[in-house]
Amino acid sequence: MKVSFPAMRGEIGQRTYYSCLMKLNAIPKMFTFRDWAEFTPEDREQRILNKNRVPEIAKYILDNEEGYIFASITASYKCPVEFRPTSKDSDLGTLEMEFESANFVINDGQHRCAAIAQAVQANPAVGEESISVLLFPYENRDRVQQMFSDLNRNVAKTSKSLDILFDHRDPMAQVTQRVCEQVDAFKDMVEKDAVSLPVRSRKLFSLAAMYDANNELLKATRDAEDSTVGAMVSVAVDYWLTVSKMIPDWAAVKRGDIKSMELRQEKISSHAVVMRALGAAGAELMAARPYDWKDELQKIRAIDWSKKNPDWENVCIIANSVVSNRQARMATKAYIKRQLGLSLTEGEERALQTGAQAEAAAAAAATAAG
């Protein structure tokens, strides 16, 4: 039985290829997934399918049926095909092949194909939509390996900040952008392109750091059944406005009294690890003291955010560098909670003790060396 697909013929890299439109319900029929784990890495024509990624992509399709989008799938065909132009010398037409002999190696998009198959099974209506598939003739193993490398090596992943800026589906992304506009200390001070700030940037925070901080702050509000973007914005703006009054350096930078670069070099109050810890500690403070949390928050005025403060050593500063790994985030949150008079979990107590022990050991080693 012959199958055919609308197609355009083109050339790239001195090779003829076809850009076809395939219904989504044809994808699981036309493309099969080989378990490349049985081959040595050198002999594989494609990477091993990461099955943990597939449900997440399928969920993206099913949750966003009115707006999901995919890039083209790229594959090499290992079967006879025939291009039938709509007219003589036309590059528009149909591509035909025998269904029984159809054989493809997916060069790029195997996780998309697997997710499409899963989504179509869950909702057959999705199968009536179409995706573009670029088909190249199969040459040999070395060529398909090179295609995989070329297609993936030259793709630059966008920064987390830019993903947040352009994501209109994620409620937390919407909340974060509105908070950055409504809290004076953040307005025009948030880097929205890069995930980290260039050394000479006049910005003080990154959008990625603000997103993580709000995610920690709004966990309870976010998970409530009646949660809305407006309600989360209201909570977050109120909290960060209060915090900004307790960290006057932020306002000093905004006024131009201190340069952003100088503050970042000398103090940690705007670093991602601290912002996330402030968000997490704030969530617990508001839960524990719902009526007077603003009064309790006054206590963070006493925190010395200077990098020279020995309290930060082995908490979020290791070997004179600010770090933001899991251990540092927990220890920084624990430190702020302790300043606020909040009780610590066993894990948080251990995080602070680990830092104190490391500092004591370093001091002892320095004394012994002296």
Among residues 153, 174, 189, which one ends one of the domains? 153
210 lies in the same domain as 272: yes
Q: Do 136 and 7 share a domain, yes or no? A: yes
Q: What is the pLDDT of residues 23-32, one digit of tens each?
A: 999 988 888 7
- pLDDT, tens only, 160-180: 888 888 888 889 999 999 999
Q: Report how far residue 118's alpha carbon sits from residue 121's, in angstroms, rounded to the nearest whole number.
A: 5
Question: Which residue did the predictor score with more confidence, 200 or 368?
Answer: 200
Q: Are 48 and 109 in contact (CB under 8 A)?
A: no
- The verdict on residue 6 lying in a domain is yes
Residues 251/187, Cβ–Cβ less than 8 Å: no
> 138, 153, 168: which is the final residue of a domain?
153
| Assigned domain for 369 exists | no
In this structure, the number of other CB atoms found within 10 A of the CB of residue 319 comes to: 8
Which of 356, 279, 346, 345 shows the shortest CA–CA distance to 315?
A: 356
Helix (H) or strand (E) run with residue 82 in it:
strand 82-85
| Residues 181 and 200 reside in one and the same domain | yes
50 occurs within a structural domain: yes
Q: Which of 92, 118, 153 is the last residue of a domain?
A: 153
Domain that holds residue 277: 160-363
Give the count of domains, the chain.
2
63-96: b (≥16 Cβ within 10 Å) or e: eeeeeeeeeebbbbbeeebeeeeeeeeeeebbbe
- pLDDT confidence of 33, banded at 50, 70, 90? low
Of 3, 186, 4, 185, the C-alpha closest to 85 is: 4
Residues 238 and 259 in one domain: yes
Band of pLDDT at residue 11, cut at 50, 70 and 90 = very high
How far apart CA 165 and CA 121 sit, in angstroms, is 33
- The pLDDT value recorded for residue 149 is 83
The alpha carbon of residue 305 and the mean position of all alpha carbons in its chain are separated, in whole angstroms, by: 28
Domain match, 176 and 325 both: yes
Q: Is residue 105 part of a domain?
A: yes
69 with 168, same domain: the answer is no
193 in the same domain as 117: no
Distance CA(242)–CA(236), nearest Å, equals 10
At 139, give phi and psi (nearest 5°).
Answer: -110, -60
Residue 178 counted as domain residue: yes
Instruction: Tell whether 174 and 281 lie within a shared domain.
Output: yes
d(CA 76, CA 140): 10
Bridge partner list, 76: 105, 136
The two tokens of residue 280 are: 């997490």
The answer to whether position 115 is within a domain reads: yes
Pair 335, 353 in one domain:
yes
**pLDDT tens digits, 260-314:** 999 999 999 999 999 999 999 999 999 999 999 999 999 999 999 999 999 999 9
Q: Looking at the structure, do residues 188 and 296 belong to the same domain, yes or no?
A: yes
- Global pTM reads 0.77
Beta strands 190-191 and 205-206 are parallel
Rounded distance between C-alpha atoms, residue 113 and residue 95, angstroms: 20
pLDDT value, residue 127: 92
pLDDT at 265: 93
Q: Average pLDDT of the chain?
A: 88
Q: How far apart are CA 186 and CA 206, in angstroms?
A: 10
Asked if residue 118 and residue 177 are part of one domain, the reply reads no
The answer on 191 and 111 residing in a single domain is no
